[in-house]
A = this chain, B = another copy of it.
Amino acid sequence: RSEEMAKSTQLIDNEVFRAYATYTAIVLLKMMLMSLVTAYFRITRKAFVNPEDTASFGKGDSAKKYLRTDPDVERVRRGHLNDLENIVPFVGIGLLYALSGPELSTALLHFRIFTGARIFHTFAYLIPLPQPGRGLSWAVGYAVTFSMTYRVLKTVLLL
């Protein structure tokens, strides 16, 4: 039992894996914050989608008018979905990449650029910044995940 505990601790003691864990926790946390931003805009813009969510505004037509879409809410939701589309591959491939034995400095470079790019992407989407700000930050994160995928396939390929 204690040997097992030790073993599971050893993976987490590997420096590349610790870096992976750190940046994965950060980007997943950032993605989770999108839910709070959505909730904030839904409440301040009074724009809801479920009838039961507007019940506190009264009954009938007085509540129904809050069942509507709002541009700010939709914008945050698009940013959230874009996070899912891009952070899921990062987390999945990043784990395999971290286990493929890269240099710590190379791994940190990948993780830091991806995390920075996604944080910038969120600000670019929500402010919003003029293009190509958002597009470029998306492309940078995409390229990082692509680079890790290449290394994983080169290292482990077993079809």
Residue of B nearest to A34 (CB): B85
Q: Does A35 sit within 8 A of B, measured CB to CB? A: yes
Contact for A7 among B11, B21, B35, B98, CB less than 8 A: B11
A131 with B52: CB separation less than 8 A? yes
A8 with B80: CB separation less than 8 A? no
A8 with B17: CB separation less than 8 A? yes
Chain B residue numbers with a CB within 8 Å of A88 are 28, 31, 84, 87-88, 91
Give a binary string over A20-55; 1 marks a CB under 8 Å from any B CB, 0 the rest.
011011101101101100000000000001101101
Q: Does A130 sit within 8 A of B, measured CB to CB? A: yes
Contact for A11 among B8, B26, B159, CB less than 8 A: B8
B22 with A153: CB separation less than 8 A? yes
Shortest CB distance A114–B (Å): 13
Q: Could you list 20 examples of A-B contacts with CB < 8 Å?
A: A7-B11, A8-B11, A8-B101, A12-B101, A12-B155, A12-B156, A24-B92, A24-B93, A28-B149, A31-B88, A32-B85, A32-B89, A35-B85, A49-B78, A52-B128, A53-B131, A55-B131, A88-B88, A91-B92, A95-B95
